[in-house]
Structure 1
Amino acid sequence: MRAIDPALMVLAHQGAKAYAHGFDLLHRREATRPNEIWQADHTELDILVLDEVGANVRPWLTIVIDDHSRGIAAYRLSTSAPSALQTALALRNAIWRKGKAGWTICGIPEMLYTDHGSDFTSRHIEQVCAELKIRLIFSQIGQPRGRGRIERFFGTLNTCCLAALPGYIGPGGPPPKPGLTLVQLDAALRRFIVETYHHAPHSVTGEPPEARWSRGGFLPRMPASLEELDLLLLTVSRPRQVHRDGIRFQSLRYIDPTLAPFVGATVTIRYDPADIAEIRIYQDDRFLCRAICQELAGEAVSFKDILRARTERRRALQSTIKDRRSLIDQVLTRPTTAPSIPVVPPSPTAKIPTSKGAPPLRRYQHE
């Protein structure tokens, strides 16, 4: 019995899945440069927080990680289950510049490696990857071994960050009382990623993720503008009419001086559900402006801005009317009389042939 192959014993008694986990030969893949491969995945965090109404919830975390540097390109917290919208918003944050010291990871990846979740296999994410020229690669169904790097980060996050926070759900313990809101947890995660994780040497690469990603003056491939990226990724869009006092949406009012020429027109708005202080306005897939809600954004569109926009709009219309009136006046003042045609008198010897019994043919001056 001692001479029996252990692999044979596991396959016979525990099945193919246990055998594959313990005895399958693996190929260890390694990205050779930044942004060559990004991994994305979701997990339900082992911590309880308070939602907007004060209820205890376990939040979901979406992570996008760079395979080469092990740096975090983006993360997104939500109290709702993973969806194509959450994935799109995480990709938006990952691709665009963060504008924060110590977090320079950005750009369009060459490959996005994910599992077979319905949010990753959605038609919207497929179209986004095609537009941005990203190869979308899926792991084998039921085998998470190819996503080991992102699973390792989830373990690091549990032991080095969440375990020290109130509301952490420890193994085998009673349910804790939540002590943080979702906003406070978001701030704690940001501090851990930007200030601790990105600047600590990784156990495998031996380099801090931030330094490994930017080594050699790497320049990422970027989209032309944030508005172009939003047009691809922000799936929450609604048609709205531009009123004289702006755009009304969810009992809020959004305004921008750029909307002056579009009063009465129908436009499309796109917005981030987590931040409705501003919305982006499009017409026929063309970006117009960003409109803000003055009550939420902490900004104000002054009366001078509105007055200037009204004056410019009126002047543009008056200029158009003037040009068209000038064109009409030119048409009306043109001569309408036909040019004179010299009349050649008939020869006195010419005879007009007539048919028998028919009246003679009469000739007129302007014939």
Structure 2
Amino acid sequence: MNNSKKDDLDTKIALFRYELIIPVLNRTYPDRSALQYFKRIASAPLKYPDGTSKEYSFQTIRYWYDTYQKEGFSGLMPKTRNDKGRSRKLNKTLKNKIIEMKQTNPRMTATSIYLKLIEDGNILKKDISLSTITRFIASKPEFNHIPVEDMRAFEMEHTNDMWQLDTTYCSYIKDSRGHKLRTYLIMIIDDHSRMIVGYGFFLEDNAVNVQTVLKRAISKYGVPKRLYADNGKPYKNEQLPIICAQLQIQIIHAQVYHGNSKGKIERSFKSVKEQWMYNTDFDQFKNTEDIDSAFALYVNKKNNSPHASLNGNTPVNVFMDDESSIRRVEPERLEKIFYHTATRKVANDATIRLNTKVFETKQEYIGSRITIKYKPDLSEVYIFDDDSYIKISEVKKVDNSKIKRKRPLFSKEDDQ
């Protein structure tokens, strides 16, 4: 495995560990205690980022929790890595037997099936483990489908317990040449209070715009424990999980094709269109900033109007009545958390490439792989080294050609 792929896998492993411990970090686990949660999670095989199944003791998962508490997300990055996985195999007769038992009684658990197989003499406990049965059942999608009718309406108990995030198509505006441009509204609501906590109109529905709205919302209203979003690319990409892991946010993705699971945000969009968009002349807007300004008046009125599902109370009042649940982040730290992250190998001329641009680093980094933190528009780019941010600048080819630069006698590659 080359270094680039290893860096990518290491990040995925850290996110895998984070997703296991975030319910304990945010106290959202359904179990009676954190210990019971750790034991339940450790009772079945887990799908590792490389596609294999692995088993962990509850002590290991609890160790990751303790490490995150002390070191943050970076502490979850693997020190060593082992790609080798083992799997115990069931013969065809046993597989068919398990399938038959599950089809006869769909509510039969893996543990029940395992004990029944032992009781009937089909297997010996020393030969086949419970995790083997669990892994086989988990590999069969038909046994893990949740019918739409089983999905229940839910509501969070506290402010910022969960935010719902989504995008909707909106009306067109015209550019300076009269060409029609589709606009998109990215919006976030607080599940508990129904309050609109974030919004923005854009000409593209992409990851960077989603992150822009999320950052604004967090800056103003604090950090949510959970973020409930769609499965589309703007919400399911490599940068958003890293951002959320640093903020101690659990990302929950809606089930594919189950739009009813996003009922509150969908109803909010319906209200936006019926109460505001269909009554607004979009020809008056020259850009998305103009739309944002006009929409802000609607949001203020909506958030301060009585809501039927809130027993006639207003979203703002419900949100602020639970102010003790709001967790704030220092502006400077929040800004850095929303930087994008990448790894690059420094070339022999002490430069790196990021997107289509070239940036100059220090001679001491030649031949090394370094972590880069940057604003999505590349207006600010930093080397992230030992928890320090070292700003670097884009190489200006014309200016750079006039400077005589010393070439190092040896690069790290030459010296190996």
Whole-Å separation in 2 of the counterparts to 1:51 and 1:235:
30
Superposed, 1:284-299 pairs within 5 Å as 284=384, 286=388
Query: Which has the larger Rg?
Result: 1
RMSD: 3.3
Q: Equivalent residue of 1:59, what SS?
A: strand
The answer on whether the counterparts of 1:88 and 1:234 sit within 8 Å (CA) in structure 2 is no
The answer on whether the counterparts of 2:231 and 2:256 sit within 8 Å (CA) in structure 1 is yes
Superposed, 1:286-365 pairs within 5 Å as 286=388
Equivalent position of 1:129 in the other structure: 244
1:189 partner amino acid: F
Equivalent position of 1:119 in the other structure: 234
Q: 1:55 to 1:269 in 2, by over 3 A?
A: farther
Whole-Å separation in 2 of the counterparts to 1:288 and 1:73:
33
Is 1:210 equivalent to 2:342 in the alignment?
no
Superposed, 1:211-230 pairs within 5 Å as 211-223=317-329, 225-230=330-335
Q: Equivalent residue of 2:309, what SS?
A: coil
Equivalent position of 1:50 in the other structure: 174
The answer on whether the counterparts of 1:39 and 1:67 sit within 8 Å (CA) in structure 2 is yes
Q: 1:208 offset after TM fit, Å?
A: 0.9
Identity among equivalent pairs (%): 23
TM-score (norm 2): 0.47
Q: 1:283 offset after TM fit, Å?
A: 5.1
Q: Equivalent residue of 2:224, what SS?
A: coil
TM-score (norm 1): 0.53
Whole-Å separation in 1 of the counterparts to 2:173 and 2:373:
32
Q: 1:120 offset after TM fit, Å?
A: 1.4
Whole-Å separation in 1 of the counterparts to 2:331 and 2:254:
30
Of 47, 71, 76, the match for 2:195: 71
Task: Return 5+ residue gaps in structure 2 as ranges.
Answer: 1-146, 345-360, 366-371, 392-416
Equivalent position of 1:27 in the other structure: 152
Q: 1:50 offset after TM fit, Å?
A: 2.4
Whole-Å separation in 2 of the counterparts to 1:128 and 1:39:
17
Q: 1:53 to 1:229 in 2, by over 3 A?
A: farther
Q: 1:25 to 1:215 in 2, by over 3 A?
A: same
Equivalent position of 1:8 in the other structure: none
More helix by percentage: 2
Q: 1:89 offset after TM fit, Å?
A: 1.1
Task: Return 5+ residue gaps in structure 1 as ranges.
Answer: 1-19, 98-105, 168-177, 240-261, 290-367
Equivalent position of 1:140 in the other structure: 255
Equivalent position of 1:149 in the other structure: 264
Whole-Å separation in 1 of the counterparts to 2:302 and 2:276:
10
Q: How many residues align?
A: 221
The answer on whether the counterparts of 2:160 and 2:225 sit within 8 Å (CA) in structure 1 is yes
Q: 1:189 offset after TM fit, Å?
A: 0.8
Q: 1:96 offset after TM fit, Å?
A: 0.4
1:74 partner amino acid: G
> Deviation digits for residues 274-310 of structure 1, max 9, x if unmatched?
xx9xx55745364589xxxxxxxxxxxxxxxxxxxxx
The answer on whether the counterparts of 1:64 and 1:75 sit within 8 Å (CA) in structure 2 is yes
